Structure 1
Amino acid sequence: MPVGGGDIGLNLWVEKGEVYFYLSKSGTFDENNTLLKLGRVKLKLSPNPFEGKTFKQELILKDGFAQISGSNGELNTLIKVWVDVFNPVIHIDINSSQKIITEASYETWRFEDRITKGKENNQNSYKWAPQGVVKTLKDEIAFKNNGIQFYHQNKTETVFDVAVKQQGLEDRKSDLFNPLNNLIFGGLMQGDNMASAGNYTGIYLNTPFKAWALKSKSPSRSQNITISLNTRKAATVADWERETNLSKRKSNQKASIKWWNDYWKKSFIYINSDDKAADQSATNYQLFRYMLGCNAFGKYPTKFNGGLFTYDPQLTDSSLKYTPDFRNWGGGTHTAQNQRLVYWPMLKSGDFDMMKPQFDFYLDLLKNAEVRTEAAWGHKGASFTEQLENFGLPNPAEYGWKRPADFNKGMEYNAWLEYEWDTVLEFCMMILETERYDNRNIEKYLPLIESSLTFFKEHYTYLAKQRSAKALDADGHLVLYPGSGAETYKMAYNSTSTIAALKTVLERLIEQPNLSQKKKTEWTEMLKTIPSISFRNFDGKPTIAPAKLWERINNTESPQLYPVYPWGIYGLGKPGLDTAINTFKYDTDVLKFRSYVGWKQDNIFAARLGLTEDAAKLTTDKLKDSRRRFPAFWGPGFDWTPDHNWGGSGMIGLQEMLMQVDGKKIFLFPAWPKDWNVHFKLHAPYQTTVEGTLKDGKLIDLKVLPESRKADVMNMIK
């Protein structure tokens, strides 16, 4: 089961009477940009309480910790595992009815350099195109400071240097942000009344490991073990060590419990109905939100492909006998199309602070994106590609090593990703929404939003001038060609997803009160140049087209419905709702692509369109128990386990079934089955919370804060 807090995640389990957990922390990127685990801990108790008939392992969700209890004759033992939300320290508290010996071991598979081959390189930025031998370099582990110290220090040359050279940016290298340089990460494990007990070796699920053990100096009824973790850029190991030792401040579990208690009070969805699938959906909504809360304060956003909770890959795919560091689709590589689904639900759950790592991720990369745009095309604006490294350049494998000599150096030579750079606009919109929802000061992010918009204006003017004497079409609009409708409709002319994104973000940016009149005029002029959305017919019924034209279909997304979600151009009470519903019901591509798996958004589209039966079926299918021990460990889907964009899209669907917003309007139960009794609390724009209970089809106990917003609430169940 997952346990965590702050920016630390543990996978905790008991096997053959011994307790294990994996250590993960935000930002632990090695030279190859693998998001490395920090090792595995094993606890062995003697005499062993877990060899008896009574055993229980429980996640205390409300308080954010796990406990394991066991009885063996007269011996009763309780182990509490918790992570300090405010300090990077893991605590293992052991209490027994009798004196016992505790052995705590730090196990690592990175005790020596390890060559990664074949598909194993999908865990790093080289993927299927390694340039020579790729090695995961060994960590440094030693008995030190009455404990076990372990760390990984990145070497001077990393995949950052490889990508910069590959993409022709060496002359600008000194200006580029490099998150991998001087990075050291690891920790220190210590135990009260414990001493070193030597080493041992073994194999766990085909992976050889070496262990460093601590053992009780004498039997006792209580034992506290701490693991202080530290991820920092540091000039020397000594600097990192000083910080690591300081991190073991006096932890206060009460403060962490209060944080988790407040987290659950802030927002919730509890369903109690005869429909067991509905109840299960609400339970798993909460369990997934727990996993998101474990990276509330991470320097880096929660990764869509497993977050902090990946584990031995052969338990996901038996053919992948790799180390626990493996995850498909990379560690430092961020697939924006997937990441967005992890972060959109945080608006209605009121988790605005947790969105900061994702926003700062793009802000940190802004300069690099602008530098590469200027170097490739000689114009302004930030070009953020779809498979984006944590240093702002395209993933080297997706960029392509076998490129035609004259292929533009700003482009990814990739059939799925070419010309797909509009996903950043969803994160720009999220930033704008945090201002509207919670009155957040977003001034520092305005350069990111403006530069992202500038890229589209500059780039499509630049391309048009290469083809013609005219920069705009006959109607004075930008010619958005070549473009892309997600990864699906390729070489698109006026992609609908791009048009909807540009139109909506521009409209919202112009409304910003702290924008100068000059800027407002500039963005208003750009808004006039955005072309209209295109349409097509199926059986005589008008539908939204994915683009005006396209050359081929590459994937199975439905960007023709992006004007419904996330962009909200079509929806309840808005013009053209029937056309949007036709698109959902009759577009043959949409029907063919429909699914609840992974990043599929069909449940969200159905909810936004008020299609209750479809929304309920697709959302309960998406949020049903995974086939794994922890119900919210979905996947691998199209990505990896646990699939966080699967969970995120499930959260969004359930929220949109319950509550939708349009300007100041708040629609309750727009796609909610009458027989699903529910108690909920969600956040709406203008610092509004809505809490209510639906019982037997009737809304009771509606609480809207501030009360003045109650007039804006419309109950769609009558």
Structure 2
Amino acid sequence: MPPKSIIRIGMAATLVAVLAPASATPPANTTWEEELAAYNVVWDSPSKSSVDSMPLAGGILGLNVWVEKGELCFLMGSPNCMDENGMQPKLGLVRLRFFPAVFEQDFRQELRLAQSEIIVSGKTASGTRVSVKLWCAVDQPLVHAETTASEPVEVTASYETWSNYDAKVDKGAIQWSRRLAQVNARRKNDLEAQGMAEFEDKVPDPLSGLICGGRMTAPGMVEAGSGVGLFNGLKTQTCSLKTAAPVKQLDLCITLRMEQEKSLATWEAQLDKHARRAAQNAKSDRFATQAWWNVFWSRSHITINPGAPPTDEAWQAGRNYQLIRYMSASNVNGRAMTLFNGGQFTCTDNPDRRAWEGCQFMAQNQRLVYWPMLRAGDFDLLQVATDFYRDRTEMSRLHARKFWDVDGVAWSEAFSIFGLDSIGTTADGRCSARHLPHHYTSGMEFALMMLEMGRYTGKEFRNYRDAAIGIIRYYDQFHQKSLAKKTGKPLDAKGHLVIYPSDACEPYHGCTNNTDVIAGLTALTRELLVLPKGTLSTGERAYVEGFQKRIPPFPMKEQEGRKYFAAAESWEWVFENGNMDFPQMYVCFPFSILSLGRSDMTLAKNTWDLAPIKPAI
């Protein structure tokens, strides 16, 4: 049976990590390729439902693959497939049925990581061997399901939707589409409600006129009817094709398209063009896809206890590293970030729905998807997120200028597809959630990722440093103005900012000089000032150096003679929602003020031992 979870956290042992540039030519027949094969996931019996599915990754596709009651099924997801609110619903479900039944004996389902393919195989009751190989292209949204049988079998391929796609059989193919309104109502309403309508041309619009869908075809298949079905308790619309005669080989090609078009006719014409090209170029597409995966695996992988049995927890930790990188590669060049709450691989109940979906790209959760990519050298994957934030920097600057009269950047914690606040804002431009009005720390993390990408790669990314400087200017200008209104002076007696009001993550509010913000500002100034000579203008460098002197010291407490970081100098109230955020430890992760092997970790250890995980209300 498939395990309940194919990812399990284990203990780390001796490991070897390899990091190579993305452009490197992968070596052939190396030891790591053999070791990678040992991390393949193999199941020896069918699944009970979509919950027991296996991930298959492509450049902007994520498939959930499983066999249920003799049918090979897969859900198709993509970051580029969005609904009216900017969430990421599925592109639909495909079922393959065989006659005679082909998974009666010798069932095997294997995820082959090096090749990024899933092979499902079995035998009929009479001994006919059948295998189906599924793979996705990387540079285009394309799926192939290749069936090979020792004796001819009949194949029926069905497309199913519960998401209001318009599906039909067209010229021996199944085609489906879902078109969003030419003017997106959510964007229009949010612009007006959040006071940003005057800046409409600066606010990204990825939803208006977006058409998502696809075309499924294979040589020798004919229409097999349409009707209704049931998937996870959801009523579905179905369309089917079947082989005109039993076959030994069949390449079912699914071409997907998710683009903004002025007319459905234009979109359909382009889909048809891409589908024809895909049918003619399967071999070259497979070669290009394989070459990409070879580079992907050669640039970063971890081997722990090679040769150990799968029950070894350290070996499991190594496999988990491969598996999470693999699933992350389902968004190499998408127009939206991989959502923290399931990515492209949601599969339970209604797989279009997610926990916390009203928050959209909740930054405190999104950051955890993307930090590992920096360390792994997966800059192409990471750039999807950093560009997403960068492209919403100017509108954030306009927002700060209008509402707070400062020339800076403050990305909302609850971040929408447009870069607006996904929850909503108050009259003074702050998030309307009572625990988030001054929580901008997570945005600092994405700005820091931008700077770190430049440091790691030696490249300069367009407008990346502008975000970091913008964030510094927001804190500098806003809090100088705030203090001046209260005391007549912009800085305290020692020439430091007084950061108030502020939020220390989600629990602490009405904070003065909270640790997470101070750590973030310290990290951003640190990285800006080590940029190569000439990267910052003379004026920019002078400003950052001056700001660095205005950052307040970290708030400290002492217990039993041991000093440790406090959440803030003071706070006015605590938000109790079950979360146990620990802003004191932001000095370690993500901002590396203290880090193993590079600094004395006594304060970090003391903070871990003595600081309250859950604040008193």
TM-score category (smaller protein): 0.7 to 0.9
Cross-structure match for 2:470: 451
Are residue 409 (structure 1) and residue 461 (structure 2) matched? no
Q: How does 1:321-340 map to 2 (within 5 A)?
A: 323-330=350-357, 333-340=360-367
Residue identity opposite 2:516 in structure 1: S
Are residue 533 (structure 1) and residue 558 (structure 2) matched? no
Q: Within 2, Cα distance between the matches of 1:24 and 1:362? A: 22
Are residue 58 (structure 1) and residue 110 (structure 2) matched? yes
Please point out which of 113, 116, 120 is paired with 1:68.
Answer: 120
Q: How does 1:335-346 map to 2 (within 5 A)?
A: 335-346=362-373
- Provide Cα deviations, 1:69-117, integer angstroms capped at 9, x if missing partner: 011222110100000112211000001111111110110012xxxxxxx
Are residue 30 (structure 1) and residue 83 (structure 2) matched? yes
Please point out which of 43, 48, 51 is paired with 2:101.
Answer: 48
Q: Say which SS state the counterpart of residue 328 (structure 1) adopts.
A: coil
- Provide Cα deviations, 1:143-190, integer angstroms capped at 9, x if missing partner: 224311111211124211221122122333344322211211111111
Are residue 226 (structure 1) and residue 256 (structure 2) matched? no
Q: Within 2, Cα distance between the matches of 1:232 and 1:328? A: 26
Residue 299 of structure 1 and its aligned partner are, at CA, apart by 2.4
Query: 8 Å contact 1:158–1:180 — kept in the other structure?
Result: no
Are residue 235 (structure 1) and residue 262 (structure 2) matched? yes
Are residue 546 (structure 1) and residue 567 (structure 2) matched? yes
Cross-structure match for 2:608: 584
Query: 8 Å contact 2:60–2:141 — kept in the other structure?
Result: yes
Residue identity opposite 2:344 in structure 1: L
Please point out which of 48, 61, 79 is paired with 1:8.
Answer: 61
- Provide Cα deviations, 1:115-157, integer angstroms capped at 9, x if missing partner: xxxxxxxxxxxxxxxxxxxxxxx32222224311111211124
Are residue 151 (structure 1) and residue 170 (structure 2) matched? no
Please point out which of 299, 318, 324 is paired with 1:282.
Answer: 318
Cross-structure match for 2:588: 564
Q: How does 1:113-132 map to 2 (within 5 A)?
A: none
Residue 573 of structure 1 and its aligned partner are, at CA, apart by 4.9
Query: 8 Å contact 1:491–1:551 — kept in the other structure?
Result: yes
Q: Within 2, Cα distance between the matches of 1:280 and 1:576? A: 31
Q: How does 1:250-649 map to 2 (within 5 A)?
A: 250-251=281-282, 252-272=285-305, 276-313=312-349, 323-330=350-357, 333-395=360-422, 398-399=423-424, 408-512=427-531, 513=533, 514-554=535-575, 555-573=579-597, 576-589=600-613
Please point out which of 210, 213, 219 is paired with 1:183.
Answer: 210
- Provide Cα deviations, 1:441-488, integer angstroms capped at 9, x if missing partner: 224322222222222222222322332321111111111111111112
Residue identity opposite 1:143 in structure 2: V
Residue identity opposite 2:316 in structure 1: Q
Residue 334 of structure 1 and its aligned partner are, at CA, apart by 0.6
- Provide Cα deviations, 1:377-433, integer angstroms capped at 9, x if missing partner: 2322122110110111111xx326xxxxxx543111223212101211111111111
- Provide Cα deviations, 1:183-202, integer angstroms capped at 9, x if missing partner: 11111111111122111212
Query: 8 Å contact 1:538–1:587 — kept in the other structure?
Result: no
Higher alpha-carbon deviation: 97-106 or 511-520: 511-520
Query: 8 Å contact 1:148–1:189 — kept in the other structure?
Result: yes
Query: 8 Å contact 1:304–1:339 — kept in the other structure?
Result: yes
Identity %: 32
Are residue 142 (structure 1) and residue 195 (structure 2) matched? no
Q: Say which SS state the counterpart of residue 96 (structure 1) adopts.
A: strand
Structure 1 residue runs of 4+, over 4 Å off? 573-576
Residue 575 of structure 1 and its aligned partner are, at CA, apart by 5.2
Residue 18 of structure 1 and its aligned partner are, at CA, apart by 0.4
Residue identity opposite 1:549 in structure 2: S
Q: Say which SS state the counterpart of residue 513 (structure 2) adopts.
A: coil
Q: How does 1:141-220 map to 2 (within 5 A)?
A: 141-155=167-181, 156-220=183-247
TM-score (norm 1): 0.73
Query: 8 Å contact 1:584–1:591 — kept in the other structure?
Result: no
- Computed over aligned residues only, the root mean square deviation of the Cα atoms, in angstroms, reads 2.0
- Provide Cα deviations, 1:679-701, integer angstroms capped at 9, x if missing partner: xxxxxxxxxxxxxxxxxxxxxxx
Q: Within 1, Cα distance between the matches of 2:587 and 2:397? A: 28
Unaligned runs of 5+ in 2: 1-53
Residue 331 of structure 1 and its aligned partner are, at CA, apart by 7.5
Q: Within 2, Cα distance between the matches of 1:346 and 1:444? A: 20
Distance 1:177 1:297, change over 3 A: closer
Distance 1:373 1:98, change over 3 A: same
- Provide Cα deviations, 1:285-329, integer angstroms capped at 9, x if missing partner: 21111101122222222211111000123xxxxxxxxx2211112
Query: 8 Å contact 2:451–2:464 — kept in the other structure?
Result: no
Residue 374 of structure 1 and its aligned partner are, at CA, apart by 2.2
Distance 1:195 1:575, change over 3 A: closer
Residue 5 of structure 1 and its aligned partner are, at CA, apart by 0.9
Residue 576 of structure 1 and its aligned partner are, at CA, apart by 4.8
Count of residue pairs brought into register by the alignment:
547
Q: Say which SS state the counterpart of residue 608 (structure 2) adopts.
A: helix
Query: 8 Å contact 2:179–2:210 — kept in the other structure?
Result: yes
Q: Say which SS state the counterpart of residue 174 (structure 2) adopts.
A: strand
Q: Say which SS state the counterpart of residue 409 (structure 1) adopts.
A: coil
Q: Within 2, Cα distance between the matches of 1:432 and 1:497? A: 18
Residue 528 of structure 1 and its aligned partner are, at CA, apart by 1.3
- Provide Cα deviations, 1:28-86, integer angstroms capped at 9, x if missing partner: 22112231110100001111211x22211110111101010011222110100000112
Distance 1:447 1:588, change over 3 A: closer
Distance 1:246 1:466, change over 3 A: farther
Residue identity opposite 2:475 in structure 1: F
TM-score (norm 2): 0.85
Cross-structure match for 1:670: none
Q: Say which SS state the counterpart of residue 423 (structure 1) adopts.
A: helix
Residue 205 of structure 1 and its aligned partner are, at CA, apart by 2.1
Unaligned runs of 5+ in 1: 111-137, 314-322, 401-406, 593-718
Residue identity opposite 1:266 in structure 2: R
Q: Within 1, Cα distance between the matches of 2:246 and 2:148? A: 12
Q: Say which SS state the counterpart of residue 240 (structure 2) adopts.
A: strand
Query: 8 Å contact 2:496–2:551 — kept in the other structure?
Result: yes
Q: Say which SS state the counterpart of residue 150 (structure 2) adopts.
A: strand
Q: Within 2, Cα distance between the matches of 1:573 and 1:325? A: 44
Query: 8 Å contact 1:584–1:590 — kept in the other structure?
Result: no
Q: Within 1, Cα distance between the matches of 2:168 and 2:588? A: 56
Distance 1:24 1:562, change over 3 A: same
Residue 499 of structure 1 and its aligned partner are, at CA, apart by 0.6
Q: Say which SS state the counterpart of residue 392 (structure 1) adopts.
A: coil
Distance 1:286 1:246, change over 3 A: same
Query: 8 Å contact 1:88–1:247 — kept in the other structure?
Result: no
- Provide Cα deviations, 1:591-624, integer angstroms capped at 9, x if missing partner: 99xxxxxxxxxxxxxxxxxxxxxxxxxxxxxxxx
